[in-house]
Structure 1
Amino acid sequence: MEHLDIQHQLEQLIEIGISLSSEMDTAKLLEKILAGAIQITHADGGTLYRIYDNAIRMEIVHSTSLRIRRGGSSELPVNMPDIPLFLADGSPNMKNVVSCSIHNNSTINIVDAYNDQHFDFSGTKAFDQQNHYRSQSFLAVPMRNHENDIIGILQLINAIDPVSKQITRFDLISQRLTEALASQAAIVITKQRLIADLEEMFESLIRLIATAIDDKSPHTGGHCRRVPELTMMLAEAAHDTQEGYLKDFTMTDADRYELKIAGWLHDCGKITTPEYVIDKSTKLQTIFDRIELVETRFEVLKRDCEIAMLKQHVNALASGQAVNADVESVYKAQLAQLEADLAFIKQANIGAESMSEYDIQRISAFYNQTWQLNAETLPLLSENEIYNLSVARGTLTTEEREIINHHISATIAMLEKIRFPKHLKNVPEYAGGHHERMDGKGYPKGLRREDMSIQARTMAIADIFEALTAKDRPYKHGKKLSESLAILEKMKNNQHIDPDLYEAFIKQKVYKRYAEKVFRRLSN
């Protein structure tokens, strides 16, 4: 019978070990460890402690007979004071069983706590008196990881004889099995902690890259943080959609994590984009805004007009003739025309949503107007200035737009060089598709809707809507919510963005929740 019981305990240990290796939730893992130890030793209860700096903290407390389950995934906190590893004078605390077990790096097996003179069981006795309980046998086992560091203690109370149901001591077999479980559990906990630490470090590096890109230009600050936030909000809306095209789209926690990482990395290629392109707030901006040079030329032209007018006055007076009244009128008309031309150029320099063909031709005509500098006749606007001012949309020339657009190719190239683990294998595809269009007219690959995942299409909408509403762009003011939604609807109708995701965006008021969250954050 004893042989069969040992075999059963070994089988239980194996099953518990298999269960521990597949558990990713820390609270559930700790509960499985304690419950497993109680099960294989036939203990009435037990406590799992973990070490935090110089303190030993109760994480989980279970008692079968008292029906106590505290800590772990239960809603009831342990609410017990930490046990100090060291006393006030700096000496090791050898009065408590668990701290002594840690300091001696050994298992402590106590037959009867009430007859033990080595440890302070006053707290235990007070607990017993309050709960009408009798704590008798104790087994405290250090949890040592692969580096032989003690990360916690398994303490079991009151071994129960399976036959007589009476409290007995923890026999050697139970002790060794618990030590084996504690060792295995420590390795699993450490592995889980290492994975969590690596993930935290990985996310910190990703946030560092995103922050560096945002900080690279004051005009893009927050973009790399807001896009993943909006992406996740829209993805959740798609996940919650119960009808139509999106009804079968679901996300696990792992899927959400993968998409979040992709969101943080979606513009990592911008780290290669020159600041002078990112920060170009007007069409004539280079190191500085060249509109100042244009203003100077117009001031010279105004001066020349005034000089010409005054010369005519002087010549008339010198010859004894009356001053022609038309001279003053012509001068005022010339000034008015110069003011109007300069205002037009200034307006063109700002970079509106669109510039008409007529306005572009008007800009080109300024090349034929001249001004004088050190007796040299020069065009009022140079070829390069006309080229920049003739940009139909925004502030970037074709070449500068290609530089900006290259960031997505750089993003894809950078991400494809990273050896992502299996659960993050889709990050390059999600992050690299946010400038593609549903009709295949996007970039860099010209993908169509069916070539892209729903996640990538989600990020595309998030990137566009963030850009429309952002108030920190160098070339425009943030648009009102109504304006942004109207533009987004046009983009849906023009097959620029996914129509089903657009419907989820509107029906579930993702735009409203995003706006409220961002505006609330900005107001704080």
Structure 2
Amino acid sequence: MADKDDLRSLLKRLEQLNAVGAALSRERDLGRLLELILDAAQTLTGADGGTLYRVTEDGSALRFVLMRTLSLGVRKGGQGEEPLDLPLLPLYLQDGTPNDHLVAVHAAVHDTTVAIDDAYDSARFDFSGTRSFDARTGYRSRSFLTVPLKNHDSEIIGVLQLINASDAQTGAVRPFSAGERRIAESLSSQAAIALTNRLLIDQLERLFESFVNLINQAIDEKSPYTGGHCQRVPRLTMMLAEAAHETAEGPLAAFSMTERDRYELKMAGLLHDCGKITTPVHVVDKATKLQTIYDRIGLVDTRFEVLKRDAEIDALRRQLALRPVVDETAERGLLDGLRRQGQELDAERDFLRACNVGSESMSAADQERLRAISARREWRNPEGVPTALLSSDELENLGIRKGTLTQAERDIINYHIVSTIRMLESLPWPRHLRNVPEYAGGHHERMDGKGYPRGLTREQMSWQARMLGIADIFEALTAVDRPYKHGMKLSQALAIMRGMREGGHIDPDLFDVFVKEKVYLRYAREFLDPAQIDV
């Protein structure tokens, strides 16, 4: 009968071991995975206590990661638990010999499982630290089972140590059985594989994120006016996504995200403007209408100075011609005319300077005055040839109705989204990131199908792409680091976006969440100047 009970117990533990193995392979969070390994080991072996160590990155020591003692209620090192601040256990002594007096180090260095029936009777290893713990807590650490964790390259990556196997009937401390040793070794093997896979995935994700940040850094160094944008838009997008995830009513009540969904959207946000790496910097940074590599308004200023100089020379010549007849009235008329002409030229120059500064809208009257000045004024170039005051390119730029970009330059700017889509669609995305190109590539589309580059409608876009669109617009309206505009106050930005909501530009349901849940305010408190927060 006892044999049958032992067999049933063994089969039950094997079933638990299989279930634990499946759970280990599914767990994506490294911290939770480590806790799962130790908790499962204690459950499968009946251990009251347990410690999990990891080999440090330089491979020189063991680091305490988790500590558990069920009977004392001790849980340290896990998420939301008391941190473990214990010294490292060096694997080798100063003379290069293995640090064999510590049982956990011995198991790691020699890749061997160590079972000890009673630590107080063992002279092989130094248990002074254990005895110190026992003295402080009134505990008695007796039986030990120490198992190394070895990855697929046969490298030791950690150590699992179990303490005080308990009798299922009486609760008395007993030695670990041979069966429990095999189960612990089997679990350690599965745990090492799961842990190694998780570490590899984490390393690849960190590498990928570093590569993404490298792209944004390149854009930042190319143009400091867009680098902040590349960081702020993902943050605002995630704020809106979390608000939508928490929404329990309305069209977004069914929207939810897993951790993988969050990571996918985060990556899309970070990469949404990666195509800007192909955009000429003089277009991205165009702060005034006449700016190219430099602001050409200085050339226009020079031409006005030439016109004023020529007017003054002409007046002086005519004044000299009057001197033989000494006509003071005529001379005074010449000087008054020269002064009026100078004032007129100064007014026109100031007007062109004002035109050069981009604004939300240039009036039709100002555009007409600009054309009239260009048609009326000529200056003599360095070769002495009469030339129009403004070239056709300068006239086109100064006449820009809104902002600082010509239509050709806007097309160059807009092409960045085409570059973004091409770049992202060329990558072999894993399944959990396959939507990144769609999310990132849709942030300039409109709900009414009038956006670019594909003219998608609301129904053809994911919620995530629509979120990125709202975040991109709001960040642009409130950003204070753009060369051609001041950052708007919240009330002004929200008023403009309400108009976009009604005009079919942005998703109305998402914008309602954006406003109702005060996503804009949380973002503003983190990123905007306090003077912009007026609602």
TM category (shorter chain) comes to over 0.9
Write the letter of the residue equivalent to 1:31: E
> Which is further off, 3-12 or 142-151?
3-12
Unaligned residue ranges in structure 1 (runs of 5+): none
> Which is further off, 261-270 or 123-132?
123-132
Match of 2:223 in 1: 217
Would the alpha carbon gap of residues 282 and 138 (structure 1) be closer, same or farther in structure 2, given more than 3 Å must change? Answer: same
Write the letter of the residue equivalent to 1:7: L
Match of 2:353 in 1: 346
How does the TM-score come out when normalised to structure 2?
A: 0.91
Unaligned residue ranges in structure 2 (runs of 5+): none
Matches within 5 A, 1:5-404: 5-52=9-56, 53=58, 54-73=60-79, 75-162=81-168, 166-324=172-330, 325-365=332-372, 366-373=374-381, 374-404=383-413
Q: Quote how far apart the aligned CAs of 1:78 are.
A: 4.2
CA distance in 1, matches of 2:47, 2:223: 63
CA distance in 1, matches of 2:500, 2:169: 76
Would the alpha carbon gap of residues 168 and 196 (structure 1) be closer, same or farther in structure 2, given more than 3 Å must change? Answer: same
Number of equivalences? 523
CA distance in 1, matches of 2:104, 2:31: 21
Would the alpha carbon gap of residues 65 and 512 (structure 1) be closer, same or farther in structure 2, given more than 3 Å must change? Answer: closer
Would the alpha carbon gap of residues 147 and 275 (structure 1) be closer, same or farther in structure 2, given more than 3 Å must change? Answer: same
Q: Quote how far apart the aligned CAs of 1:73 are.
A: 4.0
Q: Quote how far apart the aligned CAs of 1:17 are.
A: 1.5
Q: Quote how far apart the aligned CAs of 1:492 are.
A: 2.1
Q: Any conservation in 1 of the 2:216–2:227 contact (CA below 8 Å)?
A: no
CA distance in 2, matches of 1:120, 1:520: 60
| Alignment deviations for residues 250-303 of structure 1 (CA, whole Å, 9 cap, x no partner) | 223222221111111110011111112112222222222211111111111111
Write the letter of the residue equivalent to 2:31: A
Write the letter of the residue equivalent to 1:492: R
Match of 2:465 in 1: 456
Q: Any conservation in 2 of the 1:49–1:60 contact (CA below 8 Å)?
A: yes
> Which is further off, 72-81 or 500-509?
72-81
CA distance in 1, matches of 2:175, 2:240: 59
Q: Quote how far apart the aligned CAs of 1:328 are.
A: 2.3
Root-mean-square deviation over aligned CA pairs:
2.4
Q: Any conservation in 1 of the 2:359–2:403 contact (CA below 8 Å)?
A: yes
| Alignment deviations for residues 334-359 of structure 1 (CA, whole Å, 9 cap, x no partner) | 11211111111111111221122332
Q: Secondary structure at the match of 1:391?
A: coil
Q: Quote how far apart the aligned CAs of 1:145 are.
A: 0.8
Match of 1:505 in 2: 514
CA distance in 2, matches of 1:509, 1:159: 54
CA distance in 1, matches of 2:255, 2:514: 15
How does the TM-score come out when normalised to structure 1?
A: 0.93
Write the letter of the residue equivalent to 2:398: L
Write the letter of the residue equivalent to 1:224: C
Q: Secondary structure at the match of 2:112?
A: coil
Q: Any conservation in 2 of the 1:50–1:153 contact (CA below 8 Å)?
A: yes
CA distance in 2, matches of 1:507, 1:40: 50
Write the letter of the residue equivalent to 1:381: L
Would the alpha carbon gap of residues 113 and 362 (structure 1) be closer, same or farther in structure 2, given more than 3 Å must change? Answer: same
Would the alpha carbon gap of residues 284 and 428 (structure 1) be closer, same or farther in structure 2, given more than 3 Å must change? Answer: same
Would the alpha carbon gap of residues 343 and 166 (structure 1) be closer, same or farther in structure 2, given more than 3 Å must change? Answer: closer
Q: Any conservation in 1 of the 2:478–2:528 contact (CA below 8 Å)?
A: no
CA distance in 2, matches of 1:41, 1:500: 53
Q: Any conservation in 2 of the 1:211–1:224 contact (CA below 8 Å)?
A: no
Would the alpha carbon gap of residues 493 and 59 (structure 1) be closer, same or farther in structure 2, given more than 3 Å must change? Answer: same
CA distance in 2, matches of 1:78, 1:220: 42
Q: Any conservation in 2 of the 1:136–1:158 contact (CA below 8 Å)?
A: yes
Would the alpha carbon gap of residues 171 and 272 (structure 1) be closer, same or farther in structure 2, given more than 3 Å must change? Answer: same
Write the letter of the residue equivalent to 2:504: Q
Q: Quote how far apart the aligned CAs of 1:84 are.
A: 2.9
Q: Secondary structure at the match of 1:214?
A: helix
Would the alpha carbon gap of residues 168 and 218 (structure 1) be closer, same or farther in structure 2, given more than 3 Å must change? Answer: closer
Q: Quote how far apart the aligned CAs of 1:165 are.
A: 5.4
CA distance in 2, matches of 1:161, 1:228: 54
Would the alpha carbon gap of residues 447 and 303 (structure 1) be closer, same or farther in structure 2, given more than 3 Å must change? Answer: same
